[in-house]
Amino acid sequence: MSKNCKEMNEIIDQYLRLSTFPIAVKLFAEGEELPPRTKVPTKDFGYPIAFCQGVNLARKFGWSVAFYQEDQACPLGQVILGHKEEPEFIKDGSVVYPLYVDNIEAGKKTQASTPKMPKADTHCIVLAPLHFANFEPDVILIYGNGAQITRLVQSALYKEGGYIESRFAGRGACGGEVVVPIVEDRCNVIIPGGGERVFAMTTDEELAFAMPKSKFDDVMEGLVKTHKGGVARIPTPYAGISLKPQFPKYYSDLGDYCGLNDK
């Protein structure tokens, strides 16, 4: 990785103007020491929390949060993120039906399509605000509005072109945020699920974008160079903001008085 976390954070901050911090995500192996001042939910709060809550603590409060298996309050999140093997009794779709789908077969299809780590060997997942991270991330996760996520899509495609293919189910967003970029080694757009809004207070207008470490440099370059292209920028360069305004006819006499109607 040619740019460190602080340098990437500065580029993202300059060109995206996010309202919350970008997040560095890393899978820590057994024996690796946690970064200083990292909060472990069961130790520091006295109870486990959902992974999406940890994401929002990192991006909104600037905290570093570590998740061992016992710190993950969401059982589906434990399966998705590789802390626990997917049990046979949920493969029939019974955790999806009837909450999300009309029938058990549809639930089975949705559960089978849910991103999961290939095997349950995740020891610990650490989240930290990008500018504060003292480790090389496996993933950078960014939350933003539609325009900001669009800029990231454009940036990710700057070098290689094509499209970013993303899948949405309205649930299990942590799979799209962590599993997809790591396992499939590609950038991904994520629509946060309903549970994330309930428990983690993700707002209705927010989307997320995740990039694996193999794409960091390309996305940073694309963000800078597509901005310099002039059309794709934050803030959006609205064409109408510099056009001559048209006022109601009732302003006509006042316009004559001010000498504006001849201009």
For 214-259, the pLDDT digits (tens) are: 999 999 999 999 999 988 899 988 888 889 888 999 999 999 999 9
Residue-level pLDDT at 231: 83
For 252-263, the pLDDT digits (tens) are: 999 999 999 876
Residue-level pLDDT at 12: 98
Cβ atoms of 77 and 174 closer than 8 Å? yes
224's CB contacts (< 8 A; 6+ apart) are 11, 15
For 166-210, the pLDDT digits (tens) are: 999 999 999 999 999 999 999 999 999 988 999 999 999 999 999
Residue-level pLDDT at 222: 97
For 59-105, the pLDDT digits (tens) are: 999 999 999 999 999 999 999 999 999 999 999 999 999 999 999 99
Residue-level pLDDT at 63: 98
Q: Is the pTM of this model over 0.85?
A: yes
Distance CA 12, CA 7 (A): 9
Burial 216-231 (b: 16+ CB within 10 A, else e): bebbbbbbeebbeeee
Residue-level pLDDT at 52: 97
> In which band, very low, low, confident or very high, does the pLDDT at 2 lie, cut at 50, 70 and 90?
low
Peptide bond before 237: cis, by omega within 30 degrees of 0?
Answer: no
Q: What is the mean pLDDT of residues 143-168?
A: 97
- Phi then psi dihedrals of residue 126, to 5 deg: -110, 135
Cβ atoms of 27 and 124 closer than 8 Å? yes
Q: For residue 1, is pLDDT > 70?
A: no
Average pLDDT, the chain: 96
Distance CA 154, CA 148 (A): 10
CA 244 centroid distance within chain: 39
Residue-level pLDDT at 262: 78
